[in-house]
Amino acid sequence: MTTAREPERLPFFVYGTLRPGQVNHAWALRGRAVREEPARIGGALLFDGPGYPYAIAGPPDAVVHGTLVEPGDADYDAVQATLDRLEGYVPGAPENLYERVVTEAACPDGRTVRAWVYLAAEPLAARLRAGGTLIPGGDWLDGDARRPSLLPAEPGPLPPAEQGPLPKAELHLHIEGTLEPELAFALAERNGVALPYATEDELRRAYSFEDLQSFLNLYYALMAVLRTEDDFTDLAHAYLARARHQGVRHAEIFFDPQAHTARGVPVGTVIGGLARALDTAQERYGISTRLIMCFLRDESADSALETFEAARPYLDRITAVGLDSAEVGHPPAKFAEVFALAREAGLKCVAHAGEEGPAGYVWQALDILGVDRIDHGVRCMEDERLVARLVAEQVPLTLCPLSNVRLRVIDDLAAHPLPAMLDAGLLVTVNSDDPAYFGGYVDDNFIAVREALGLDDATLRTLARNSFRASFLDEDTRARYLREVDAHEAAAPARRPGW
């Protein structure tokens, strides 16, 4: 059913997480395709995998259903490079997990189109034939075909041949900021919410911001679709499925209860819905999780206190409290009382500081709020004494490079202070912040800083190790994850270039 690989600019036939509405479509193909249509290929079999399917060569009468994606001319090379990297394909590399080959795709109108498809290479294909779970009918989205992954409950390294991106922890991730347009429209329909956008594409075009406040205006408006426990559960599952493909092994997830209680959604509904997904995250996605409850700094101190008291019955589900939203004009000191209550309750503390606000806000977060970690903190570099203290105490900083560029905190990613911060001895990590809005999840941020800043593999591994060291994990689990980074490094020469 396939021919040898040919150097042609053909469309791509995708059959799993790259199909419209699925976890990898939004970041890999969104806005880059001039045409997408249903299609099927013959001579192939589809097997269930850990959150995604595998296609392999099969008998002539076997069929796999999917989508034919035609990238625009200007985006073609970038799309091909993205898909090659996602599938672990390097031309001619014997260790490839997938091979990119030419197939014939049949369209609903009777046309037959030559297209690229990624098929599992040997020996993976042999293992699937011998013991894989065949998807009857060849459609991953049909009925019960998409079964939840049953990944090991105990964190451990993946087999080297199937390793994906560099293992990492994500420590700066707003769950509301993972609301992709596809899910926003689905939840709006489910809950009878009218969005001020006619289509998903129109909503995507609205993802253009001048600064933090213009982003927040859209961010809070879209939260109107989040009404029930099921909504928050679905939101968390959608993030975790994406995070799995980004190499995330541990996630410490922010949520903003005040943004929901202001709309009449109880704190218990928010926490209960998120917890339902997080309780299965290790089993389904191989990701350990923690939950961080944030206070909105542009709300009053009394509102933060009321929120904390409303959340008291659920503190066993919460690891830390945080401080986020519009920074300028809202110093950390304003929230001293609620952070003191959180520390008394045995919770960890973090705070956004030194993003748009001055370095002085970082001092306040340290000395008045007693935080264990600073979120963002790029403006610490304006204060030599502050840098010296952060280095001496090894206070972690959770940087979000793509966010910094989109929100105009940094003019150009190539000018990001990340290398200087590492050189100074700061304990910095790389994260995604609000990835649905800022155009990249955490591994996309790793790739972006590698390319824009010329970071080598050793530096990327330092960032990955920092992410686990800066986490709120227990020492044994942290050590296991650090060993995964070591194993990834050891396997790298036998795998492929990149991450």
pLDDT the model gives residue 153: 32
CA 400 to chain centre: 12
Q: 169, 250 in Cβ contact below 8 A?
A: yes
Q: 232, 269 in Cβ contact below 8 A?
A: yes
Ranking 163-177, 204-218, 239-253, 387-401 by mean pLDDT, the lowest is 204-218
pLDDT tens column, 458-475: 999 999 999 999 999 999
What is the pLDDT averaged over residues 341-348? 98
What is the pLDDT averaged over residues 124-139? 88
Please name the helix (run of DSSP H) or strand (run of DSSP E) that holds residue 84, with its range, or none. Answer: helix 76-87
pLDDT the model gives residue 149: 32
Q: What band does 7 get if pLDDT is binned at 50, 70 and 90?
A: low
- Nearest alpha carbon to residue 139 among 58, 53, 59: 53
pLDDT tens column, 371-385: 999 999 999 999 999
What is the pLDDT averaged over residues 132-136? 89
Q: What band does 98 get if pLDDT is binned at 50, 70 and 90?
A: confident
What is the pLDDT averaged over residues 334-345? 99
CA angle 106/111/115 to nearest 5° reads: 55
Residue 215 pLDDT > 70, yes or no? Answer: yes
Q: 39, 113 in Cβ contact below 8 A?
A: yes
Percent of the chain with pLDDT over 70: 91
Distances (CA, A) of 187 to 35, 192, 197, 198, 255: 26, 8, 14, 15, 18
Active site residues: 355
**Domains in the chain, CATH or no CATH each:** 2-140 (3.10.490.10), 168-489 (3.20.20.140)
Relative to beta strand 248-255, strand 168-174 is parallel
Distances (CA, A) of 471 to 74, 230, 273, 417: 40, 28, 23, 22
Please name the helix (run of DSSP H) or strand (run of DSSP E) that holds residue 443, with its range, or none. Answer: helix 442-453
pLDDT tens column, 288-330: 999 999 999 999 999 999 999 999 999 999 999 999 999 999 9
3-class DSSP assignment, residue 77: helix
3-class DSSP assignment, residue 63: strand
